[in-house]
Each structure stands twice: as structure tokens, then as C-alpha cells.
């Protein structure tokens, strides 16, 4: 449950930074301002910031160019420093749970708990079984500190740190709701990480990050044609727009997309085998590579369920922005930033 003003969503990805400022009312969400800027290669690797100065300068530039004066922001984290677990604990009050959560986390987190920031969400209370289901989230404190320090260096005020996979769920729920009678997957294909979030009966039931994503697809084109990475990336984007590309590019894209689809399916199969769920109803894909037809076709072929590109702005207005067409074109790529921008400066735990 939230109240107060919306924060500016800041998505610091491996290849770019996206920012979004929303205006939210009871029945309507509008984009007020937004921005996008690329990062130099190897600035961020597997979620680790390798060049803080490049990120800080990009943050300063994007806020100036987007004319965003608000300084309170929400930022997302991802990568190997983040752990998400669905656990069951004995029924207890919120106060008791707050006192007990550190001990519970120690039983499920394979790192020194003193080095981790811990948070949780109550998914379901089952008094008949004397149990309650929790979503337990842990992130390495030094990684969180790195990101918040970058924001402060850029004269911004970090108010909320969220997990990227859940920010996509935030905007999906705000736009379409979370059906409680089916199981489906939200897939965000970023530059370096593909995040999978399986929603079952209205709650997140399984998350996994796959270190095969958009950059891996571009690298396969790079190897096949022996061209610079930037040229390979341009070929990939051209294919995503439906433009004609050389047959060698098409073949490389198909092979790399098949490889990624296989990894995604193995994760889905693991969930289905361990959860007792029968099948997925649908897979929704967003992120920078979401419009790559070879990828969505490969995922659909392996999963044998419909695959839909998720447009986070499908039910969203835009406030008189001259660059609205560019925003609409990048919509799927902006999903994390939009989800972060739904967070507010005052939120209550429920």
C-alpha cells in the first residue's frame, strides 16, 4: 500500500540508464518526463559497477536533458548480489515476524547475513496449517551502497531500492492485474541479465536470473560476421525492427535466441517440477530484446504456450511530450524504470 508522491524511477542497466517520472491518480497513470542514455561498454558487468564516474556523469546528464527537477528516486538492483526465496514460517504477528526475520533469513541465505540487506513480503497466511508464506529478499549491502552512493554523487536522493524482477511485476499488476486463476511468467530480457518471474495465483512464486541476454545475442552476431560489437548490435536492432539483414545475421540470431530460449525453458521446467503446477498459461516478454521476433518465436516453440510482448505503457497516457513517439518505441525497454516510478516516498507494509 502506498501514499504520497511518486519517486523518479532510475534503471541503471548494463548498457544504458533509463529514467521515468510518473503522475499517478486512482484511475490513471501518466508519464510526465522520461530519459534514456547509453553507457560505455563494460561500465557495469553482472550488476557490478566498474566505472562509477561514467555512471555518475550519465545520471547527471540524463536528469538535465530530461528536465527532471525532482531528486527523490527509486533504483533497481539485480545480478548475483540479489537472492530471492519463497519460504514458509510459523504463523506470527507482524511484530514477531520483524524480530524473527533475521534468524529465518540465516536458514535460507548462503552468505554471511551480516553482509546482507534483508526485506520480506507476506504472500499468504494459512492459519489452518499454522503457517505463513513469505517472499524473502536479500541483497549484498556493499552492492546496494555502491548504487546509492552513485545516486548521491549525482545529487539525487535514493529513497527506495527495489529488485528489477519485481518492478516489472509492479507495472504489469497496475496495468492488467494479477489473475488468481492461472500461472504465467514475466520475462525481462535486459542487456546482461534475463530475469524470470513466475506468478502463480496472484503472487510471485519463482524468480531466476539468467546470465544470457541481449549482449549475448549481439556477441553471437559479432563472432559470426567478425565485426565490432556496435555493428553487431545495430544488426540486431535492425532485425528487431523488421528490416532486412544479411542471412548470416539471421542465422546467428536464430542460434543465439534458441540457446537463450533453452535456458529459459530449463528454468520453467524446474519451477513446474518443484511446484506441482501443471503448466504456464502465457509468457510475457519485455526488455531491450523483446521485439526480436527470433527470440519470442524460439521461446514460444519450446514452451508451447503463447508468448506476448509486454508493453508497460499499453494503458498509460503521456503528458504532452514532443518525444512521445520515441518513448512509445522504447516502451518495453522502459519497463523496469516505469515499475520503479510507481514507488512512492511513503509506503506501508501489509
DSSP, residue by residue, 240-301: HTT----HHHHHHHHHHHHHHHHHHHHHHHHHHHHH-----S-EEEEETTTT-HHHHHHHHH
Other CB atoms within a 10 A radius of the CB of residue 291 amount to 20
How many whole angstroms separate alpha carbon 158 and alpha carbon 58? 16
Q: What CATH number is given to the structural domain containing 50?
A: 3.30.420.40
How many whole angstroms separate alpha carbon 347 and alpha carbon 350? 9
Let me know if residue 238 belongs to a domain: no
- What pLDDT does residue 21 have? 96
- What pLDDT does residue 296 have? 95
Let me know if residue 137 belongs to a domain: yes
C-alpha cell at 333: 525497454
Reported as a single tens digit per residue, the pLDDT across 268-279 is 999 999 888 878
The count of structural domains within the chain is 1
Reported as a single tens digit per residue, the pLDDT across 22-34 is 998 777 889 999 9
* Contact between residue 233 and residue 252 where contact means Cβ atoms under 8 Å apart: no
pLDDT for 2 beyond 70:
no
Q: Which residues pair with 207 in a beta bridge?
A: 197
C-alpha atoms less than 13 angstroms from C-alpha of 87 in its C-beta half-sphere: 21
- What pLDDT does residue 305 have? 94
Let me know if residue 62 belongs to a domain: yes
Let me know if residue 32 belongs to a domain: yes
Let me know if residue 233 belongs to a domain: no
Reported as a single tens digit per residue, the pLDDT across 100-117 is 999 988 988 888 888 999
Q: Which residue has the cell 511484530?
A: 95
Reported as a single tens digit per residue, the pLDDT across 109-165 is 888 888 999 999 888 889 899 999 998 999 889 889 989 999 999 999 999 999 988
Q: What is the pTM of this model?
A: 0.90
Let me know if residue 242 belongs to a domain: no
Reported as a single tens digit per residue, the pLDDT across 280-301 is 999 999 998 999 999 999 999 9
Specify the DSSP class assigned to residue 127: T
Q: Give Cα separations from 77 to 13, 109, 226, 237, 324 (angstroms).
A: 9, 17, 33, 25, 27
* Contact between residue 322 and residue 153 where contact means Cβ atoms under 8 Å apart: no
Let me know if residue 159 belongs to a domain: yes
Let me know if residue 226 belongs to a domain: no
Q: Which of 267, 261, 263 is nearest to 300 (CA)?
A: 261
Domain that includes residue 120, residue range: 2-218+250-347
How many whole angstroms separate alpha carbon 306 and alpha carbon 301? 9
Tell me what percent of the residues of the chain surpass a pLDDT of 70. Answer: 98
How many whole angstroms separate alpha carbon 175 and alpha carbon 194? 22
C-alpha cell at 325: 513517439
Residue 4 pLDDT class (50, 70, 90 cuts)? low
Amino acid at each position: 500500500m502506498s501514499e504520497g508522491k511518486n519517486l523518479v524511477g532510475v534503471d541503471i542497466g548494463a548498457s544504458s540508464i533509463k529514467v521515468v517520472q510518473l503522475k499517478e491518480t486512482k484511475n490513471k497513470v501518466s508519464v510526465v518526463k522520461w530519459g534514456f542514455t547509453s553507457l560505455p561498454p563494460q561500465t557495469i558487468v553482472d550488476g557490478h559497477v566498474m566505472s562509477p564516474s561514467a555512471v555518475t556523469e550519465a545520471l547527471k546528464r540524463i536528469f538535465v536533458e530530461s528536465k527532471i527537477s525532482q531528486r527523490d528516486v527509486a533504483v533497481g538492483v539485480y545480478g548475483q548480489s540479489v537472492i530471492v526465496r519463497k519460504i514458509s514460517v510459523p504463523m506470527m504477528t507482524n511484530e514477531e515476524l520483524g524480530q524473527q526475520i533475521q534468524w529465518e533469513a540465516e536458514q535460507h541465505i548462503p552468505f554471511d547475513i551480516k553482509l546482507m540487506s534483508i526485506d520480506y513480503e507476506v504472500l499468504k497466511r494459512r492459519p489452518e496449517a499454522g503457517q505463513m508464506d513469505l517472499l524473502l529478499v536479500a541483497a549484498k549491502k556493499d552492492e546496494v551502497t555502491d548504487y546509492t552512493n552513485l545516486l548521491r554523487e549525482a545529487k539525487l536522493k535514493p529513497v527506495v531500492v527495489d529488485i528489477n524482477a519485481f518492478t516489472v511485476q509492479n507495472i504489469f499488476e497496475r496495468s492488467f492485474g494479477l489473475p488468481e486463476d492461472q500461472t504465467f511468467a514475466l520475462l525481462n530480457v535486459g542487456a546482461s541479465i534475463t530475469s524470470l518471474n513466475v506468478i502463480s495465483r496472484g503472487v510471485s512464486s519463482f524468480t531466476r536470473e539468467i546470465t544470457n541476454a541481449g549482449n549475448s545475442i549481439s556477441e553471437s552476431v559479432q563472432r559470426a560476421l567478425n565485426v565490432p560489437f556496435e555493428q553487431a548490435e545495430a544488426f540486431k536492432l535492425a532485425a528487431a525492427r523488421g528490416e532486412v539483414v544479411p542471412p548470416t545475421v539471421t542465422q546467428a540470431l536464430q542460434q543465439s535466441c534458441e540457446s537463450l530460449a533453452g535456458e529459459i525453458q530449463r528454468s520453467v521446467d524446474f519451477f513446474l517440477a518443484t511446484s506441482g503446477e501443471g503448466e504456464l498459461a502465457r509468457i510475457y516478454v519485455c526488455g531491450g530484446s523483446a521485439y526480436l521476433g527470433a527470440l519470442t518465436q524460439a521461446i514460444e516453440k519450446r514452451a508451447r504456450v503463447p508468448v506476448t510482448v509486454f508493453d508497460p505503457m499499453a494503458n498509460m497516457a503521456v503528458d504532452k511530450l514532443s518525444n512521445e513517439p520515441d518513448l512509445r518505441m522504447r516502451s518495453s525497454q522502459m519497463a523496469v524504470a516505469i515499475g520503479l516510478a510507481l514507488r512512492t516516498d511513503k509506503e506501508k507494509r501489509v
